[in-house]
Homo-oligomer: A and B are copies of this chain.
Amino acid sequence: MLCFEDFQPGHSFALATHQVTADEIVEFATEFDPQPMHLSEEAGRASILGGLSASGWHTASLFMRMMFDGWLSRSTSEGSPGIDVMEWKKPVLAGDTLSGRSTVLDARPLRTRPGLGLVKFQHEVQNQRGEVVMRGENPIMMRMRDPDEAAA
Protein backbone atom coordinates (compact mmCIF):
# COMPACT_ATOMS: atom_id res chain seq x y z
CA MET A 1 0.00 0.00 0.00
CA LEU A 2 1.09 3.53 -0.80
CA CYS A 3 1.23 5.48 2.48
CA PHE A 4 1.74 9.17 3.28
CA GLU A 5 5.51 8.60 3.40
CA ASP A 6 5.51 7.41 -0.25
CA PHE A 7 4.21 10.71 -1.64
CA GLN A 8 7.25 12.92 -2.08
CA PRO A 9 7.07 16.21 -4.02
CA GLY A 10 7.81 15.60 -7.70
CA HIS A 11 6.79 11.92 -7.69
CA SER A 12 4.02 11.13 -10.13
CA PHE A 13 1.53 8.29 -10.51
CA ALA A 14 -0.21 7.22 -13.74
CA LEU A 15 -4.00 7.30 -14.07
CA ALA A 16 -5.73 4.37 -15.77
CA THR A 17 -6.80 5.02 -19.37
CA HIS A 18 -10.45 5.29 -20.43
CA GLN A 19 -12.13 5.47 -23.83
CA VAL A 20 -15.17 7.75 -23.75
CA THR A 21 -18.29 6.56 -25.58
CA ALA A 22 -21.17 8.61 -26.97
CA ASP A 23 -23.60 6.51 -24.92
CA GLU A 24 -21.96 7.29 -21.59
CA ILE A 25 -21.71 11.02 -22.43
CA VAL A 26 -25.46 11.13 -23.07
CA GLU A 27 -26.29 8.93 -20.06
CA PHE A 28 -24.33 11.10 -17.61
CA ALA A 29 -25.69 14.33 -19.10
CA THR A 30 -29.27 13.09 -19.00
CA GLU A 31 -28.94 12.55 -15.26
CA PHE A 32 -26.71 15.43 -14.18
CA ASP A 33 -26.13 18.07 -16.89
CA PRO A 34 -28.80 18.06 -19.63
CA GLN A 35 -27.38 20.96 -21.66
CA PRO A 36 -27.91 20.34 -25.41
CA MET A 37 -24.20 20.05 -26.34
CA HIS A 38 -23.90 17.04 -24.00
CA LEU A 39 -27.02 15.29 -25.38
CA SER A 40 -26.60 15.07 -29.17
CA GLU A 41 -23.95 15.24 -31.88
CA GLU A 42 -25.97 17.88 -33.74
CA ALA A 43 -26.26 20.25 -30.77
CA GLY A 44 -22.60 19.63 -29.93
CA ARG A 45 -21.52 20.60 -33.44
CA ALA A 46 -23.62 23.77 -33.22
CA SER A 47 -21.90 24.78 -29.94
CA ILE A 48 -18.42 26.18 -29.33
CA LEU A 49 -17.38 22.64 -28.27
CA GLY A 50 -17.53 21.30 -31.84
CA GLY A 51 -19.20 17.92 -31.26
CA LEU A 52 -20.96 15.69 -28.73
CA SER A 53 -18.88 16.52 -25.67
CA ALA A 54 -18.79 15.26 -22.10
CA SER A 55 -20.04 17.49 -19.29
CA GLY A 56 -17.08 18.87 -17.34
CA TRP A 57 -18.54 17.14 -14.27
CA HIS A 58 -18.50 13.86 -16.21
CA THR A 59 -14.83 14.38 -17.13
CA ALA A 60 -14.12 15.09 -13.46
CA SER A 61 -15.96 11.91 -12.40
CA LEU A 62 -14.15 9.85 -15.07
CA PHE A 63 -10.87 11.30 -13.77
CA MET A 64 -11.82 10.11 -10.25
CA ARG A 65 -12.27 6.56 -11.56
CA MET A 66 -9.05 6.70 -13.61
CA MET A 67 -7.24 7.84 -10.45
CA PHE A 68 -8.86 5.08 -8.37
CA ASP A 69 -7.89 2.37 -10.85
CA GLY A 70 -4.47 3.89 -11.55
CA TRP A 71 -3.15 4.27 -8.00
CA LEU A 72 -5.65 5.47 -5.36
CA SER A 73 -7.05 1.99 -4.69
CA ARG A 74 -3.51 0.92 -3.65
CA SER A 75 -3.15 3.83 -1.22
CA THR A 76 -4.18 4.64 2.36
CA SER A 77 -6.45 7.49 1.16
CA GLU A 78 -8.96 8.81 3.71
CA GLY A 79 -10.66 11.09 1.19
CA SER A 80 -10.30 14.74 0.28
CA PRO A 81 -11.54 18.06 1.68
CA GLY A 82 -12.11 19.50 -1.80
CA ILE A 83 -10.68 20.81 -5.05
CA ASP A 84 -8.28 23.77 -5.10
CA VAL A 85 -8.74 24.46 -8.80
CA MET A 86 -9.97 22.55 -11.86
CA GLU A 87 -9.71 23.76 -15.45
CA TRP A 88 -11.57 22.28 -18.40
CA LYS A 89 -9.03 23.11 -21.12
CA LYS A 90 -10.41 21.31 -24.22
CA PRO A 91 -13.65 19.52 -25.08
CA VAL A 92 -13.79 15.76 -24.34
CA LEU A 93 -15.48 14.26 -27.40
CA ALA A 94 -17.08 10.87 -28.02
CA GLY A 95 -14.34 8.41 -29.01
CA ASP A 96 -11.54 10.20 -27.14
CA THR A 97 -9.13 8.04 -25.11
CA LEU A 98 -8.13 9.69 -21.85
CA SER A 99 -4.98 9.12 -19.81
CA GLY A 100 -3.04 11.21 -17.31
CA ARG A 101 -1.00 11.54 -14.13
CA SER A 102 -1.16 12.77 -10.57
CA THR A 103 2.00 14.58 -9.43
CA VAL A 104 2.79 15.40 -5.79
CA LEU A 105 3.17 19.14 -5.19
CA ASP A 106 3.43 19.09 -1.40
CA ALA A 107 3.01 16.72 1.57
CA ARG A 108 2.69 17.56 5.27
CA PRO A 109 1.49 15.84 8.47
CA LEU A 110 -1.90 17.00 9.76
CA ARG A 111 -1.44 18.37 13.27
CA THR A 112 -5.16 18.04 14.04
CA ARG A 113 -5.37 14.38 12.96
CA PRO A 114 -2.45 12.31 14.27
CA GLY A 115 -1.45 9.53 11.89
CA LEU A 116 -2.77 11.37 8.84
CA GLY A 117 -1.01 13.61 6.34
CA LEU A 118 -2.28 15.88 3.59
CA VAL A 119 -0.83 15.33 0.11
CA LYS A 120 -1.46 18.02 -2.48
CA PHE A 121 -1.57 16.75 -6.06
CA GLN A 122 -1.61 18.30 -9.50
CA HIS A 123 -3.70 16.10 -11.80
CA GLU A 124 -3.56 16.20 -15.60
CA VAL A 125 -5.89 14.39 -18.01
CA GLN A 126 -5.00 14.29 -21.70
CA ASN A 127 -6.56 12.91 -24.87
CA GLN A 128 -5.08 10.57 -27.51
CA ARG A 129 -3.38 13.54 -29.22
CA GLY A 130 -1.54 14.47 -26.00
CA GLU A 131 -3.68 17.60 -25.50
CA VAL A 132 -4.42 18.39 -21.85
CA VAL A 133 -8.23 18.37 -21.53
CA MET A 134 -8.43 18.88 -17.75
CA ARG A 135 -5.95 20.05 -15.15
CA GLY A 136 -6.59 20.37 -11.45
CA GLU A 137 -5.11 20.51 -7.99
CA ASN A 138 -6.53 18.82 -4.93
CA PRO A 139 -5.37 17.62 -1.52
CA ILE A 140 -5.94 14.03 -0.36
CA MET A 141 -5.58 12.76 3.22
CA MET A 142 -3.30 9.70 3.58
CA ARG A 143 -2.65 7.47 6.57
CA MET A 144 0.97 7.16 7.65
CA ARG A 145 2.90 3.90 7.65
CA ASP A 146 4.67 4.95 10.82
CA PRO A 147 2.82 7.70 12.74
CA ASP A 148 5.40 7.74 15.56
CA GLU A 149 8.23 8.66 13.22
CA ALA A 150 6.32 11.66 11.78
CA ALA A 151 5.51 12.91 15.28
CA ALA A 152 9.14 12.68 16.33
Q: Which residues of A contact B (CB under 8 A)?
A: 28, 31-35, 37, 47-49, 55-58, 60-62, 64-65, 68, 72-73, 77-88, 136
CB distance from A52 to the nearest CB of B (A): 14
Which of A77, A79, A84 has the most C-beta atoms of chain B within 10 angstroms of its own C-beta? Answer: A79
The reply to whether B57 and A61 contact each other, CB–CB distance below 8 Å, is: yes
Chain B: CB-nearest residue to A37? B79
User: Which B residues are in CB contact (< 8 Å) with A72?
Assistant: 35
User: Which B residues are in CB contact (< 8 Å) with A28?
Assistant: 61
User: Which B residues are in CB contact (< 8 Å) with A32?
Assistant: 61-62, 64-65
Chain B: CB-nearest residue to A60? B57
